[in-house]
Amino acid sequence: MAEVSDVDALIRELDDRMRLDCRRLSMWRVVHRTTGLFYTVVLIFVPAVLAVGFTSSETALGKVLLLMAAVVGGLNVTFRPYLHSLRRRSAVNTMRRLRDEFRADVAATVEGELPAVYRRYAATYAAIFEERGGELVDGRLSAEEPPSEPAPKLRA
Q: How do the pLDDT tens digits run along the chain, 156 residues long?
A: 446 577 788 888 888 988 888 888 888 878 888 888 888 888 888 888 888 888 887 888 888 988 989 998 888 877 776 666 666 677 778 888 888 888 888 888 876 788 888 888 888 888 887 877 666 544 444 444 545 555 445 554
Cβ pair 25, 95 in contact under 8 A: yes
Give the pLDDT of residue 76: 81
Give the pLDDT of residue 14: 86
Cβ pair 32, 88 in contact under 8 A: yes
- Give the angle 61-66-50 at the CA atoms, nearest 5°: 70
CA–CA distance, 19 with 13 (Å, rounded to integer): 10
